[in-house]
Amino acid sequence: MLDIQALRTDLPVIAARLATRGFVLDTAHFQKLESHRKSTQTRTQELQAKRNSTSKLIGQAKAKGEDTSAIMAEVASLGDELKQAEVQLGEVQSALQQLLEVIPNTPHSTVPLGKSETDNLEVRKVGSIPAFDFAVKDHVNLGEKLGLDFDTAAKISGARFSLLKGSLARLHRALAQFMLDTHTERHGYTEVYVPYLVNAESMRGTGQLPKFEEDLFRVPRRGFEPTERISPDGVYQRGFMSEPLANPMEDWYLIPTAEVPVTNMVRDEIVLLEQLPLKFVAHTPCFRSEAGSYGRDTRGMIRQHQFDKVELVQIIHPEKSYEGLEELLGHAETILQKLGLPYRVVKLCSGDMGFSAAMTYDIEVWLPAQNAYREISSCSNFEAFQARRMQARFRNAQGKPELVHTLNGSGLAVGRTLVAVLENYQQADGSVVVPEVLRSYMGGLEVIKAS
């Protein structure tokens, strides 16, 4: 969320910055709401002040045993007008809030201007692209002999799920363990285990709600009848839904990234200055509906409804956040370097960044079968955008509460890393060499072969 004070004082400037990311801010609408808010709030507070002072007089008069009927009649006439003013104020404030919640973050001044991913800026390329003296296979072809089974996953669940067996399942686990160990032992992160089902308030805090609900899996709790049942006359019914119950419980959402539960750890908290930066790493599954991505990456495990990710999160002092972003990016890069995977770092342009980010670096890993770099990590500085939504603050040197900055980045997406390992370490016979750093996690296994 943007600072409403800044919008009040600097509206044209902020609108122009938002325009660089392709967002049109309706400034006239904002100004109209804002002036309505101002007059309504002033009027409401005047009436409240009058009610309060008069009511106090009644109390004092009664204490002395005086007659209060005249004064009570006076304040009674306030009632309707005050109630109406309060309702109006509530309406205009929630309208402002709703408007504010769907405005994206303003890009940092050093973010390259552009409309789409073609305008992103390549920052560096690291590692050398492997040369193969045979026809490279993609991870799907390679995996089918090694334990990567999409058919069974489709039977169990549906499209965009995968099932790993044997050495590949272990490789998947090894990657996650290796990443966690590296970040905790070398980069100073504290490992956390977090809930995978979160409430709407947490989703709002990091910016997934209210605008991107269609990307999420929503899990109803109490509130509906089951979706399957045997009807009274003995017929099996599927997809049955009753009318909603009178008092439904708040729904949960499956996390689309560990960013949500981990960053929300500091929601509604005031952390001590000396505790900053807080650095957390979590290995979690991520669940995404992939609504709107029909037909994209349908083959293989690049784009799944469920995938694992090791996520880095930092809660950091505002003056240190850009420094912190470079460090966090480096922490993610370390994983690729140690795995010996070639990659490049891209700075996203204003038009390609996510809703909440002020600056984002993507790390793209080389996939030989696609002959392309593909995103494997996204590292962002959200500045105070998420902190403002979460009311996540620290006590500054003057002892006053001030919003923290939040950073996060994948370190890395486990499924895509597995794809990259398979494709980059493949051999002519269809086997895959296990990267050196993973072997201790694989019981010393050096090559994954068809069983």
Binding site for RNA (CB under 7 A): 4-5, 8, 38, 41-42, 44-46, 48-49, 51-56, 58-60, 62-63, 72, 75-76, 79, 90, 247, 249-250, 270, 393, 400-401
Q: Least CB distance from residue 255 to RNA, whole Å?
A: 17
State in angstroms the smallest separation of the CB of 405 from RNA: 16
Would you call 451 a catalytic residue per the annotation? Answer: no
For RNA, the closer of residues 41 and 289 by Cβ is: 41
Of 264 and 424, nearer to RNA (C-beta) is 264
**DSSP letter, residue 81:** H
Q: Is 427 helix (H, G, I), strand (E, B) or coil?
A: coil
The DSSP output letter for 184 is H
Of 288, 388, 389, 393, catalytic: 288
For 95-164, the DSSP string reads HHHHHHHTSPPPPPTTSPP-SSGGG-EEEEEES-PPP-SSPPPPHHHHHHHHTB-HHHHHHHT-TT---B
From the candidates 43, 267, 303, 439, which is the catalytic residue? 303
* 315 three-class SS: strand
CA dist 144 and 299 (Å) reads 13
CB of 108 to RNA, least distance (A): 23
Task: Give min distance, CB of 370 to RNA, in A.
Answer: 40
Of 31 and 45, nearer to RNA (C-beta) is 45
- 218 catalytic per annotation: no
Q: Is the CB of 109 or the CB of 398 nearer to RNA?
A: 398
Residues 184, 189, 193, 197: what is their CA dihedral angle, to the nearest 10 degrees? -140
Identify whether 124 is a catalytic site residue: no
Instruction: Report the distance separating Cα 378 and Cα 365, nearest Å.
Output: 12
SS3 content of the chain, % helix, strand, coil (to 5): 40, 20, 40
Q: Cβ of residue 363: shortest distance to RNA, in angstroms?
A: 36
Q: Closer to RNA at the Cβ: 46 or 429? A: 46
Which of the following is catalytic: 259, 350, 416, 423?
Answer: 416
The one catalytic residue among 375, 395, 402, 431: 375
- Establish whether 288 is a catalytic residue: yes
Measuring CA to CA, which residue among 76, 88, 8 is closest to residue 41?
88
Q: How far is the CB of 361 from RNA (least distance, A)?
A: 31
Query: Which residue of the set 202, 321, 356, 378 is catalytic?
Result: 378
Q: Is 160 a catalytic residue?
A: no
Q: Could you tell me where the DSSP H helices lie in 159-282?
A: 166-185, 200-206, 259-263
Of 51 and 344, nearer to RNA (C-beta) is 51
Nearer to RNA, 228 or 250 (CB): 250
d(CA 50, CA 46) in angstroms, rounded, equals 6
Compute the least distance from the CB of residue 151 to RNA, in Å.
29
- 432 contacts: CB under 8 Å, gap ≥ 6: 142, 146, 421, 422, 425, 426, 447, 448
Q: From CA 131, how far away is CA 360, in angstroms rounded?
A: 31
Helices assigned H by DSSP within 215-267: 259-263
Residues marked as catalytic: 288, 303, 375, 378, 416
